[in-house]
Structure 1
């Protein structure tokens, strides 16, 4: 777990450095700023990732606060706290970047994941690219993006207790991380800003480590991660 949160913390630090650097570049004028620090376009990978991952993270924070109140198991509560804390901080940075870029946090005609070259149902997005592989994560009926839980699943988590709540949270968060990893891999490959790419890569490494941790925790509770595909 120590390595997982070191990776996340390093990504957060890089993001803060980017925010300072971008502010200085803006103050120096658009002509003096390198291309990688200029304002992204409305439908760019940089902006789309910031919008979609902010929404994705918000649900992870919500689920983590729910399970914290549904179990007294310390390892699950510690994991939930760390996920909520890390992803709330990252979400704040993503939304802060959109504000700094003067871009909206919601675009009405932008399907989720369209910046990756797919609208989530196999169609092409605004850039016309071929659909991006989602690493086995799928968008369930009633969910907004790959890996996200439905309202019904959130309600089940909110009514479960003890081991049942722990297992359901770990399984839902496993799917959630799979979707988050696929999205972060998309930004690491497509985003132009180097520090946003670094943040995305940090998310990939941290969440992959947490996926292994959650698989072990499920096994300890007589369960297993949900199947992919």
Structure 2
């Protein structure tokens, strides 16, 4: 069987999953306040600008964006189907979650970005280092460049290590949001993220070991 044939079935399955996620997101985005309250106008029920809900949605959208970027990079640098399946899962799941969070910010009448420091809603002070790693767990520009230059097993191990650190920090952020958020949307999403990312951390630990590398 050719490599193209081996990849075709996962790609079809992934395409179906993307379609279902897209339809769900469209349905979500159609839910708007009544005509008397424009979608872009803050209401009394919308989370405050300084809330954990708004801060988490903004920061995790950025965090997820880099995870999706790394998954796309490794997808094109290995033929290993286990790593490619994991990359597809991360792309589909985190791109969808990112869209949901940006959609909620819009419905709440909140900007999608802020000049305030990242993770301020958690009581942390994060000073940008200028290396691309805007928050804990995020890869630096140099690490991303090294991942782009790698191929095969080297790319797989680099990706798995970077994504493990990324998921650990993401799960910590989600834990804080699930405890501090005031909206059901953020609490439920954050709780799901904790379970999903911790499960993938365990999976990636096994995958690193299978490749004879140290976590």
- What's the TM-score bracket when you normalise by the shorter of the two chains? 0.7 to 0.9
Q: For residues 44 and 22 of structure 1, what CA distance do their matches in structure 2 show?
A: 22
Give unpaired runs (5+ residues) of structure 1. Answer: 1-11, 31-36, 122-138
Q: For residues 219 and 175 of structure 1, what CA distance do their matches in structure 2 show?
A: 16
1:102 shift after superposition:
1.1
Q: For residues 28 and 78 of structure 2, what CA distance do their matches in structure 1 show?
A: 38
Q: For residues 20 and 83 of structure 1, what CA distance do their matches in structure 2 show?
A: 22
Residue 140 of structure 1 contacts residue 146 of structure 1 at CA under 8 Å; is this kept in 2? Answer: no
Aligned to 1:41: 48
Q: For residues 106 and 213 of structure 2, what CA distance do their matches in structure 1 show?
A: 42
Name the Cα RMSD after superposition: 2.7
Q: Does 1:56 align with 2:67?
A: no
Residue 29 of structure 2 contacts residue 103 of structure 2 at CA under 8 Å; is this kept in 1? Answer: no
String of CA shifts for 1:94-143, please: whole Å, max 9, x gaps.
001111111101111x111001111236xxxxxxxxxxxxxxxxx98831
**Within 5 Å, which residues of 2 pair with 1:8-19?**
19=28
Q: For residues 140 and 130 of structure 2, what CA distance do their matches in structure 1 show?
A: 8
Residue 188 of structure 1 contacts residue 200 of structure 1 at CA under 8 Å; is this kept in 2? Answer: yes
Q: 167, 171, 174: which is aligned to 2:164?
A: 174
1:28 shift after superposition:
8.6
Q: 100, 113, 120: which is aligned to 2:107?
A: 100
Q: Which structure's relative contact order is higher, taking Cα pairs within 8 Å and 6+ residues apart?
A: 1
TM-score, with structure 1 as normaliser: 0.75
Give unpaired runs (5+ residues) of structure 2. Answer: 1-20, 38-43
SS of the equivalent of 2:204 reads helix
Aligned to 1:67: 74
